[in-house]
Amino acid sequence: MAASYARARIKLSPLHLLSAALISITLGAPAAAAPMSEPIKVVLDQALLLRFPARAATVIVGNPLVADLSIQPSGLAVVTGKGYGTTNFIVLDKSGTVLAEKTVEVTIPDDETAVLVYRGTDHGIERQTYSCTPDCSRRLMLGDDPEMFDKTTTQITNRNRAAIDAGTSGR
**DSSP of 79-134, one letter per residue?**
EEE-SSEEEEEEEEETT--EEEEEEEEEE----TTEEEEEEEETTEEEEEEEEESS
pLDDT category at 109 given cuts 50, 70, 90 is confident
DSSP 44: B
Give the mean pLDDT of the chain. Answer: 78
Cut 0.85: pTM above it = no
Round to whole Å and give the CA distance between 83 and 63. 10
Q: Does some domain include residue 7?
A: no
Provide the CB-side half-sphere exposure for 32 (13 A, CA): 0
pLDDT over 90 at 106, yes or no: yes
Q: Does some domain include residue 5?
A: no
Q: Does some domain include residue 33?
A: no
pLDDT at res. 60: 94
Q: Judge if 46 and 87 occupy the same domain.
A: yes
Q: Does some domain include residue 34?
A: no
Q: Judge if 80 and 129 occupy the same domain.
A: no
SS3 at position 56: strand
Distance of CA 10 to the CA centre of its chain: 56
Q: Judge if 100 and 44 occupy the same domain.
A: yes
- 59 and 71 in contact (C-beta within 8 Å)? yes
Round to whole Å and give the CA distance between 53 and 75. 5
pLDDT over 80 at 26, yes or no: no
Domain C-terminal end among 84, 107, 130: 107
For the chain, the domain total comes to 2
Domain C-terminal end among 107, 142, 160: 107
pLDDT tens column, 50-103: 998 888 999 999 999 999 998 887 889 999 999 889 999 999 999 999 999 999
Q: Judge if 101 and 122 occupy the same domain.
A: no
pLDDT at res. 171: 57
Q: What is the CATH number of the domain that holds 77?
A: 2.60.40.1080
Domain C-terminal end among 77, 107, 137: 107
